[in-house]
Amino acid sequence: MNRINKKLGENKKLLSIYFTAGYPNLNDTVSIIQDLEKNGVDMIEIGLPFSDPLADGPTIQDSSTAALKNGMTTEVLFKQLKDIRKTVDIPLIIMGYFNPMFQYGVEAFCKKCQELGIDGLIIPDLPVDVYHEQYQAIFEKYGLLNVFLITPQTSEERIRYIDSISNGFIYMVSSASTTGAKSGFGDEQTAYFERIGKMNLNNPQVIGFGISNKETFTQATKYAKGAIIGSAFVKHITNRGVEGINEFVNSILN
């Protein structure tokens, strides 16, 4: 069973953390993953930096720019993750844009992910129907789950289509804006969370965008299986360095 599905089957609310590979320093990737697991994080999204990150807010854009300057590439990331499964057990997901994967070769990319022990991919700019028609068979061949994003604007028909071809969780974007920490969720977002909850989808939902602290994590996980924190974590390691990881995770979970 894929590690993501196993984790989703646990009787708890899940905390997933996103960070940009190769940031703050090129060789921080592995130690950040190890520290996050050690401190109780359930899943990790490893951001593959890209020069034109459409869905990302300024914090993550800046970290991507810095990581690229540091020398991060697809090849470098794969080298860094070569032995990751010797020390890390939790689900690992690569989040990135389709262009670098396409350049690498989609099948070669998926094969490499399987070799390294990557469990899934999140590709915000790969249209669902294109994935379904052209790439789903490749992902399944290498045991990779593809995680799709939905927003408050996604139609019910589209959500049900995404649900029908998914086999993991659905990434529920909390608002129509780019990523970034917010102070809380308003009535509009709460109504959206409730509306999706009532659809009784086959795949659990994990909420991302705008979750930055214990309060927003607790709010989000009232309506979903888990929540993803990205910008707030990236900001924390920008300001405090990678030594402050335990402090950040403890502030959410304890």
Token digits for 72? 């991060």
Catalytic annotation present for 188 = no
Query: What is the dihedral angle through the alpha carbons of 126, 114, 141, 102, rounded to the nearest 10 degrees?
Result: 30
Indicate if 56 belongs to the active site: yes
Task: Name the catalytic one among 37, 42, 56, 119.
Answer: 56
Q: Which of the residues 28, 37, 45, 119 is marked catalytic? A: 45
Give catalytic residues, as residue numbers: 45, 56
